[in-house]
Amino acid sequence: MEPQITARDTLNHLLAADPFLRETLVLNHEPHNPNNYDEAYAFGDDASENLSRARSLLATYNRYAKKLRKHNLAATKIVLKALKEQAYAHKDRLIDPLPHYGAPTLTGEILQLTSTLQVQAGSILQSSACFWIRPNDLAQARIVKFVVGQVEAVNLAEGYATVRTSDGELFTLQPLGRTDTALLGCDGQSLEVPILPIAGATLEEAEHKHAHDTRLQAFTDYLQTSIEKYTHPSVSSMYYSHARTQYRPTFDHAPFSGNPETLEEEYAHVERACTDFYRDGGLLDQLIDTTGQKLDAALKAYRQELQR
């Protein structure tokens, strides 16, 4: 015969299993925090204490829910405003692509730089590398970057190519037998870096292409991660933390496509979702009310059980 489920069992299960109720009654989700106020602990065996708590827990829930609603509404507005400003800052840095990107004129010997890339004098390449050049005279120390460069010459006998950037810095590139990386050298220093071809008939065209592509990628990446920053904000307090997701609107799919043309419309959608969630009688108020009704019913049943 199965043991009878008591009203206390039902109440304790609700306190342990209902995510919205737990986020409301546990004001800090960090373990061992001295301010970890947990009002969702199970009812024990002290009938007198339990009766007193059963009479006051609904009021505690309503008080905490009111505070959480207020703090999360304010913090969500702050976070979304900051995310929107950053998104538009990324958008403002975008540049238009050129109508056409040509191809450079290639001459001379061919060097197999990677397993997928052959280069000749004239080849234009892209990478991302930074050297800290420190000569004996530290006053002349400088940072040298390689982003886009053009092959000046190929030395097959020594197995390297010389590459110059638009600011005049000269680099060497040596094959390593890898799929997409080579050894980039400058003033006695070297780094293994990814090397890729880039469209453009000249360094100027290729640098424009690189700037366009990297800025667009940064914009797209920011939009894809901004919703995570919203869901897991760095802002943290007793009432607003990354763990308290029930008090913020959620999205079934990423609300941003990465298309700068639709950014305004997509942010408007996010803002409408937040407005609908926090408005009087909106989704959050409905969650608070329905969860409060479940708690009230469980508490009433348990009080009746205690008074029998």
CA 308 from chain centre, in angstroms, equals 54
Q: Show the tokens assigned to 260.
A: 């700068």
**Local confidence pLDDT in tens for the 308 residues of the chain:** 456 889 999 999 999 999 999 999 987 655 555 555 788 999 999 989 999 999 999 999 999 999 989 988 888 888 888 889 999 999 999 999 999 999 999 999 999 999 999 999 999 999 988 877 666 666 666 788 899 999 999 999 999 999 999 999 999 999 999 889 999 998 888 889 999 999 999 999 999 999 999 999 999 999 888 776 666 555 555 555 555 788 888 887 878 888 999 999 999 998 999 999 999 999 999 999 999 999 999 999 999 999 87
Contacts of residue 191, Cβ cutoff 8 Å, sequence gap at least 6: 129, 131, 183, 184, 185
For residues 82 and 55, the answer to whether their CB atoms sit within 8 Å is no
Per residue, the 3-state secondary structure of 176-212, as one string, reads: CCCCCEEEEEECCEEEEEECEECCCCCHHHHHHHHHH
Q: How far apart are CA 94 and CA 259, in angstroms?
A: 11
Spell out the domain ranges in the chain.
1-100+219-308, 107-198
Cα gap 186→173, rounded to integer Å:
9
For residue 251, the model assigns a pLDDT of 81
Query: Hunting for tokens 């989700």 — which residue is that?
Result: 29
Could you give the CA distance from residue 102 to residue 206 in angstroms, rounded to a whole number?
9
Count CB atoms within 10 A of the CB of residue 97.
Answer: 14
**CA distances from residue 131 to 65, 171, 187, 225 in whole angstroms, order as listed:** 54, 11, 9, 30
Contacts of 86 (CB under 8 A, 6+ apart): 222, 226
| Burial class for 169, CB neighbours closer than 10 Å (0-12, 13-18, 19+) | middle
Structure tokens at 22: 């737990």
- Looking at residue 149, its pLDDT comes to 96
**Distance separating alpha carbons of residues 24 and 64, to the nearest angstrom:** 6
pLDDT computed for residue 189 by the predictor: 85
Neighbours of 246 (CB within 10 A): 19
Supply the pLDDT for residue 186.
Answer: 87
24 is written with which tokens? 């409301």
Token pair belonging to 276: 């609908």
